[in-house]
Amino acid sequence: MRPGGLLPIGRLLIRYLLVLTLQLWGEIAGAQSAWNEVPAGDAHRSGAFQNPKLSESSGVTVSRKYPGVLWTLNDSGNPAWLFATDTLGRDRGIFGVTNATNFDWEAISIGPCGSSDCLYLGDTGDNREGRSSIRLYRVVEPAPDSAGGEGRSTAPAQRLEVRYPDGAHDVEAMYVDQAGNCYLITKGTSGGVRLYRVPASAWKLGRALAQPLGSLPIETAWMGGKLVTDAALAPDGKRVAVRTYQSIFLFRRSPDGRLTPERGHPACSVARLDIQGEGVAWLDQKTLVLTSESTLGYPGTISVVQCPPS
């Protein structure tokens, strides 16, 4: 036992009780939301992560090149690893990201880079909102391995240093459009939920000042699990799903990258589907895959939902 600390099982139990409390508060608060929130359709748990080293899945994206493959990552304090898996949670390999450091990885997306697809990694976490800059990495998507295991490395990652024009923000949500522009959405711990763009051209310079694109009408609060943990761009490039611990909000994307709520303000509740769900990605135009961190010694889970429900 660490001085002044708790045994691991004690910490896990407290974490579980806290998350359960947040879920209950979220259901109560959801009834008062301006969004038209309904339970997600055909919501079911499809698997659990079989690789024991994948314990803190903070984001997820779907491969375009390798059918059925999902990519995810652990957050702060972990090696710079990418994990390949699928909706059943099967291990498709661990890949060390060359020339990268995991300070606080929170998001992953896929997008173009030259003639290839790249995995974009968001080292954007900042719980205390004190980082003078954050980092984005991108690396050519490696080929997953049905045998799983570790020992492989990616091609060298390209790094982009990013600052915000209005001070530090805690960000866990990122997506990339068809032109290679990156979009960052703040968690909402302070100052509301804000959207920023990092233009694709910034990769040539290696540094960028994020461009503010306004606020999103998502009410956030620690109680109720109402903090933004991930976002994903639909395959058609027209809609964006923004996830909190408990809900999914659907937005329409304008040509300039700004987001407005879909007509009717549709939102889907995913409360109680998992204990600490954070990741979201589109499997197709209507189906989303969700991932969660491990809790109480149980592996993180993968779930599939339809939003809006049929």
So what's the pLDDT on residue 1?
31
So what's the pLDDT on residue 196?
98
Does residue 1 belong to any structural domain of this protein? Answer: no
Number of structural domains in the chain: 1
Closest CA to 250 of 237, 227, 268: 268
Distance, CA of 35 to CA of 133 (rounded, Å): 33
So what's the pLDDT on residue 3?
32
198-to-11, 70, 212 alpha-carbon distances in Å: 38, 24, 9
User: In this predicted model, what pLDDT tens digit does every residue of 258-285 receive, in sequence order?
Assistant: 999 999 999 999 998 987 899 999 999 9
Does residue 3 belong to any structural domain of this protein? Answer: no
So what's the pLDDT on residue 10?
46
Report the CATH number that the domain containing residue 189 is assigned in CATH: 2.115.10
End-to-end Cα distance, the chain: 50
3-state secondary structure the chain: CCCCCCCHHHHHHHHHHHHHHHHHHHHHHHCCCCCEEEECEEEEEEEECCCCCCCCEEEEEECCCCCCCEEEEECCCCCCEEEEECCCCCCCCEEECCCCCCCCCCEEEEEEECCEEEEEEEECCCCCCCCCCEEEEEEECCCCCCCCCCCEECCCCEEEEEECCCCCCCEEEEEECCCCCEEEEECCCCCCEEEEEECHHHHHCCEEECEEEEEECCCCECCCCECEEEEEECCCCCEEEEEECCEEEEEEECCCCCEEECCCCEEEECCCCCCCEEEEEECCCCEEEEEECCECCECCEEEEEECCCC
Does residue 179 belong to any structural domain of this protein? Answer: yes
So what's the pLDDT on residue 77?
86
User: In this predicted model, what pLDDT tens digit does every residue of 204-262 receive, in sequence order?
Assistant: 999 999 999 999 999 998 776 799 999 999 999 999 999 999 999 999 999 999 999 99
| Largest distance between two CA atoms of the chain | 55
So what's the pLDDT on residue 33?
67
So what's the pLDDT on residue 221?
86
Does residue 227 belong to any structural domain of this protein? Answer: yes
Tokens for 106? 């929170």
Does residue 53 belong to any structural domain of this protein? Answer: yes
Show the low-confidence residues of the chain (pLDDT under 50).
1-18, 21-32
Q: Write down the pTM of the prediction.
A: 0.90
So what's the pLDDT on residue 9?
46
Kindly provide the b/e burial profile for residues 14-30, where b requires at least 16 CB atoms within 10 angstroms of the residue's own CB.
eeeeebeebbebbbebb
Domain that holds residue 267: 8-306
Q: Token match 């359709």: residue?
A: 41
So what's the pLDDT on residue 276?
87
